Every structure is written in C-alpha cells, then in structure tokens.
Amino acid sequence: EVQLVESGGGLVQPGGSLRLSCVGSGFTFSSYWMSWVRQAPGKGLEWVANIKDDGSDKNYLDSVKGRFTISRDNAKNSLYLQMNSLRAEDTAVYYCARRGDYWAFWGQGTLVTVSS
Amino acid sequence: EIVLTQSPGTLSLSPGERATLSCRASQTVNNRYLAWYVQKPGQAPRLLIYGASSRATGIPDRFSGSGSGTDFTLTISRLEPEDFALFYCQQYGSSPRSFGQGTKLEI
C-alpha cells in the first residue's frame, strides 16, 4: 500500500523558516517525480514545487522561487521542502504527492501557520 | 500560466440525478492533460480522472470525463450520497501545474 506521511508543520513568525518532510513507503520512491501541493484554509489547491526522481530537475511556483527549496533523499525514501522568508500568505496545509504531473497518491498534509 | 475556470461554483442536485461540471482553460491544454479530483472536508484530494477521460484506479464508472482543447467536462451519471463534495480540475500540460477554483456539489 502506497503511503506518504508528512511532518514538520507548525506555527512560525513572518520571515521565519520551516522544513517539511515526507516519507514514502509501499512503492519504489526513487522511480517517481514527487511534488508539494498546498491549500490555504478554506481555499483551493495550489501546486508548489516538484522534483525529478533523481533530483536533477526541480520546478517551482513563481511566488515561492528563491524562498522555497525542494529536495529528496532516495536512500531514506524522503522528500523535503525547505521554506525560508515565510509570509502570511504561505499559511496552508502542505501535501506531498507522488508524481510531478497529476497525483493519485497524497499524504494527509501538514499545517503551516505563518503569524506573529 | 493556464487559468482554469470551473462552473458552476455550486451545483445543487439530488441523489439519482446527473451532474455535469465544467472546466474551461484560458489556453489549450496540451495532449488533453487534464485531471479531476474530489475532496471531502478534512481529507486530501482523491484523483478521479486523468488524461481528460481515463478513470483512476477504483473509481466507479458513473464518473466520466470528456473534452479537449480548452473545454472539459466531468459527468456523474447517477449521484450517490457520497458524491456530494468539492471537485477540482487540474491541468498538467504546461508549467506551472494549475487548478480550477472548484465546484461544490451539494444536496
């Protein structure tokens, strides 16, 4: 059974940093592009970033370029999102999802709240 | 960036009825690379359709997708009580991937 489990969310002040993690199991993690998708409270879905199976290609939403960094450690079946210079508008549930284009498998999400 | 506009914003129907949800793109979606998801409160989205018309694993055949170019449709042939939820379309033909704003299907 495919499972994705996120962690690392929490309350952070504007301008602060946070690192999200996602551990995958039940599939060959190193064979898949992976993505982060977020959802602000009461709002719709927004793709944030994706990364190629070997980590050699990365893509970002314009509004997070230069602030967020997606990475992975295939030996640990893990996906990461380093978030710096956080803004109030980054407040959302962050989901990791398998594949880089459309997503059949999602984690349960981790809530990031940016507030003073 | 491709902007997806879903209509209607809210659709009020009854169990047993047919639902037709629309997703219109601001530019052609390459290769019919369009997906549909359903989301219930407190849950992650669930993939229904990919490639505009291919049902995801385990999705009942009352769900069907159609369309090409800039106009796409999700049809639910006979609504079941569990179908009342929020539906999103998403394009993956170009970057950045983008979602529609959602259609709420309510009883």
CB contact under 8 A, B44 and A62: no
Cα gap A32→B38, rounded to integer Å: 23
* Bridge pairing between strands B71-76 and A10-12: unpaired
What residues of B are in the A interface, CB distance below 8 Å? 33, 35, 37, 39, 44-47, 50, 56-57, 88, 90, 92, 95-102
pLDDT, tens digit, 9 for 90 and up, residues A11-27? 999 999 999 999 999 99
The pLDDT of residue A107: 97
- The residue among B39, B97, B98 with the most chain A CBs within 10 A of its CB, best to mutate, is B97
Considering only alpha carbons, which residue of chain B is nearest residue A107? Answer: B44
pLDDT recorded at residue B54 = 97
d(CA A41, CA B102) in angstroms, rounded, equals: 14
Q: Is B89 exposed, middle or buried (0-12, 13-18, 19+ CB in 10 A)?
A: buried
Q: Is the pLDDT of residue B107 over 90?
A: no
**Nearest CB to A45: which of B57, B96, B99?**
B99
**Burial level of B82, CB count in 10 A (0-12/13-18/19+)?**
exposed
Instruction: Give the whole-angstrom CA distance, residue B106 versus residue A56.
Output: 44
Please judge whether B44 and A106 are an interchain contact, meaning their C-beta atoms are less than 8 angstroms apart: yes
Contacts of B96 in chain A (CB under 8 A): 47, 59, 61-62
Cα A30 to Cα A67: distance, rounded to the nearest angstrom: 25
Q: Is the pLDDT of residue A39 over 90?
A: yes
Using pLDDT thresholds of 50, 70 and 90, give the confidence band for residue A101. Answer: confident
* Average pLDDT of span B85-92: 97
- The pLDDT score that the predictor gives to residue A99 is 86
pLDDT of residue A100: 79
Cα separation of B85 and B48, whole Å? 13
pLDDT digits (tens, 9 = 90+) for B11-64: 999 999 999 999 999 999 999 999 999 999 999 999 999 999 999 999 999 999
Interface touch B88/A45, C-beta < 8 Å: yes
pLDDT band at A104 (very low <50, low <70, confident <90, very high): very high
